[in-house]
Structure 1
Amino acid sequence: MLLLVYLIRTGLNYLLVTKDIWPEAEDPTKFMELNHIIAVVLGELYVIGFVTAIKLVIDWSIEKKRNEDLAKLQMSTELKFLRTQIQPHFFFNTLNNLYALTLEKSDNAPRLVIKLSDMMQYILYEVKSSKASLLQEINHINNFIDIERLRFKDRIESEMDITGNIEDVYVPPLLLLSFIENCFKHGLKENDKLKIKMSFNLLNGYLEFNLSNNFNPNTARALKHGIGNENAKRRLSLLFSNNYALESKKDGDIYNLFLKIPVQS
């Protein structure tokens, strides 16, 4: 191709413009001399290298953007999939409990239907983005605890403490609820009460969430390997990379959890 370029370019110049095809040379140069061929080829190599560099940069930029879009799509798809893993057993248990209440003609059945409907509406229709109002999430947690309290009656005790203005704060949807679910999954013993304490503290653009509950030591292994915890860890890793803290420990029959994540206003 370089030889073809030389023949066309220099040949046309020689035939149509001037016989002096290399005026900057010390000695007159004829068409198709080796020195002239090398000089022209080197010049064309500079042009080809420059244009190739531009093309490679453009291709790299397009490929980089495509990979970023694919990564975002993959993250979004995985986050949606992780959300679908949340609460299926809870809904089934609640429906079974609702069936039992209807058989007993209990006055709690209509209340349970309303609360379950509110939760399903929130999960299926209102939570469609990567962030949700912290106030809504807390209301959702309270709704969840109320439903469980209808199931277990006076065996559920819960305390909540909130520090800071949470009205305009946004967090990943349904993230905190997975930890509350674990309290009921692993904390309820056969005839004992479940005691839950949680706190929300806003400090310097971060939300600090503390949770403690009594748990059944016989479920300690399940507590370590439950889907809920792995789900939450994976979501945190996808959303915040390393900009978060998640710690948990057991102190006797008390399970303590600490979560710190950046929040959006």
Structure 2
Amino acid sequence: MLADNKLNDFLRRDSQKDYTINYKHHIIFWSIYFVFNVFRWSSIHDDFAYSLKTNIIGFPIHMLLAYFNVYYLMPKFVYTRKYVSYSILILVSLFIMLLVKYNLTYYLVSTNVWPEGPENIDSLTLDYAIQTMLGELYVISFVTAIKITVDRMRANSKLHNLEKRQLTTELKFLRSQVSPHFFFNTLNNIYSLTLEKSNKAPEVVLKLSELMRYLLYATKKRKQNLTSEVECIQNYIDLERIRFDDSLKINIDISGDLQNHTIAPMLLIPIIENCFKHGANKNIGDMFINIDLKVEGDFMYFQVVNTIPEKSQQSNMPTRIGGIGLSNVKKRLELGYNKNDYDLSIFEENNMFHVILKLKV
């Protein structure tokens, strides 16, 4: 439960990181840009007062054109692929800006509206018009590039978060499938014993209650202590031993340090269960299951070998892997572990069915 809560908190925090531009960012950007321009042009003209006045006049025009382009022209015309209309409107906007800026500069600041030009300009010339419009286009392009970059980052962030949520949801669903599937088969076993009025039924119920206690808590965690997982496997096998008596030979070999390692809960049980459901349950002759689990370094090596049902051998049909079983294990490994952290092999050899799992724990 704690691990799931931490995962949900992480996803919630990550989803909130959507690169939203708020009013503070606008104020900081334009303030820095304004100060930079004032000092830049004051050094060029060697006239701080003139630079300050022209930037006070020019910056509202910069901002108006930039926001008009970013929040109206682009969504309405660029995103809808109306490029000709967009180009015309940009040119019209720049020309209107030119007229406004020229008149404000001429009447409020200086009759020489283009002091950086080759000569004193007190009228609306073609060179002045082109240079002024190009300068304004530079500002628009700079602001637009920032907006597009932030929008792309926001879109990528949302897509990434959506993919993570989908994977997390699918993983939780697969984990939740294990318990009902497991109990369904075990309850069928108990039902069979009660029909036979077997004295083993109470012992089976007791073992099942121990498993239920484990499953009630373990499957809510992303990782469970490997020792607890092995105990769960042993309880399950004890249940099956009661049902099959001496007709089933089970060899279990467990070695290595289990204490300091963790594993996705109920990951191994479907592999063990598959031996009984598609092996022992359908076998007529001697039944054999070999389980070998060892921990070496950071990896667990888990191998299960079971007798292939005699009917399957006679009909030359491959052993059926049914229901959730091993497909659930494969999917949970894909979603819960990195590709290099596990290796799963499933094959038949010498009338035996093999499942070999190498897993980083």
One fold, TM greater than 0.5? yes
User: Structure 1 residue 208 and structure 2 residue 293: aligned?
Assistant: no
Query: 2:188, 2:356 → 1: CA distance?
Result: 33
Structure 1 residue 26 displacement after superposition: 0.7
Range moving further from structure 2, 81-90 or 10-19? 81-90
Alpha carbons 2:98, 2:132 under 8 Å: kept: yes
Query: 2:99, 2:212 → 1: CA distance?
Result: 76
Change in Cα spacing, 1:208 to 1:2, as seen in structure 2 (3 Å) is farther
Alpha carbons 1:131, 1:173 under 8 Å: kept: yes
Q: Deviations over 1:132-188 (max 9, x none)?
A: 221111111111111112222223332333332111211122221111111112211
Change in Cα spacing, 1:184 to 1:41, as seen in structure 2 (3 Å) is same
Q: Which amino acid aligns with 1:223?
A: R
Task: Choose which of 203, 209, 225 in structure 2 pairs with 1:117.
Answer: 209
User: Structure 1 residue 9 and structure 2 residue 107: aligned?
Assistant: no
Q: TM-score normalised to the size of structure 1? A: 0.86
Report what 1:237 is aligned to.
334
Report what 1:260 is aligned to.
358
Report what 1:221 is aligned to.
318
Change in Cα spacing, 1:71 to 1:107, as seen in structure 2 (3 Å) is same
SS in 2 for 1:247: strand
Q: Deviations over 1:46-86 (max 9, x none)?
A: 22222222222222222222222211211111112223433
User: Structure 1 residue 186 and structure 2 residue 186: aligned?
Assistant: no
Report what 1:248 is aligned to.
346
Range moving further from structure 2, 55-64 or 74-83? 55-64
Report what 1:165 is aligned to.
257
Structure 1 residue 224 displacement after superposition: 5.0
Change in Cα spacing, 1:190 to 1:158, as seen in structure 2 (3 Å) is closer
Q: Which amino acid aligns with 1:258?
A: I
Change in Cα spacing, 1:201 to 1:38, as seen in structure 2 (3 Å) is farther
Q: Which amino acid aligns with 1:199?
A: D
Q: Which amino acid aligns with 1:187?
A: G
SS in 2 for 1:175: coil
Task: Choose which of 176, 184, 209 in structure 2 pairs with 1:92.
Answer: 184
Q: Which amino acid aligns with 2:350?
A: G
Change in Cα spacing, 1:236 to 1:93, as seen in structure 2 (3 Å) is closer
SS in 1 for 2:174: helix
Alpha carbons 1:184, 1:194 under 8 Å: kept: no
Change in Cα spacing, 1:21 to 1:210, as seen in structure 2 (3 Å) is same
Change in Cα spacing, 1:94 to 1:74, as seen in structure 2 (3 Å) is same
Report what 2:53 is aligned to.
none
What pairs with 1:24-173 in structure 2 (closer than 5 Å)? 24-86=116-178, 88=180, 90-102=182-194, 106-173=198-265
Query: 1:131, 1:42 → 2: CA distance?
Result: 60
SS in 1 for 2:359: strand
Change in Cα spacing, 1:100 to 1:44, as seen in structure 2 (3 Å) is same
Q: Which amino acid aligns with 2:309?
A: N
- Structure whose residues are more often strand by fraction: 1
SS in 2 for 1:167: coil
Let me know the Cα RMSD of the aligned residues.
Answer: 2.5
Moved over 6 A (4+): none
Q: Which amino acid aligns with 1:15?
A: Y
Range moving further from structure 2, 216-225 or 16-25? 216-225
Change in Cα spacing, 1:215 to 1:12, as seen in structure 2 (3 Å) is same
Structure 1 residue 9 displacement after superposition: 3.3
Range moving further from structure 2, 213-222 or 165-174? 213-222
SS in 1 for 2:344: strand
Structure 1 residue 257 displacement after superposition: 1.8
Report what 2:90 is aligned to.
none
SS in 1 for 2:292: strand
Query: 1:102, 1:252 → 2: CA distance?
Result: 37
Alpha carbons 2:302, 2:357 under 8 Å: kept: yes
Change in Cα spacing, 1:31 to 1:163, as seen in structure 2 (3 Å) is farther
- Structure whose residues are more often helix by fraction: 2
Q: Which amino acid aligns with 1:237?
A: E
Structure 1 residue 214 displacement after superposition: 1.3
Q: TM-score normalised to the size of structure 2? A: 0.65
Structure number, greater radius of gyration? 2
SS in 1 for 2:293: strand
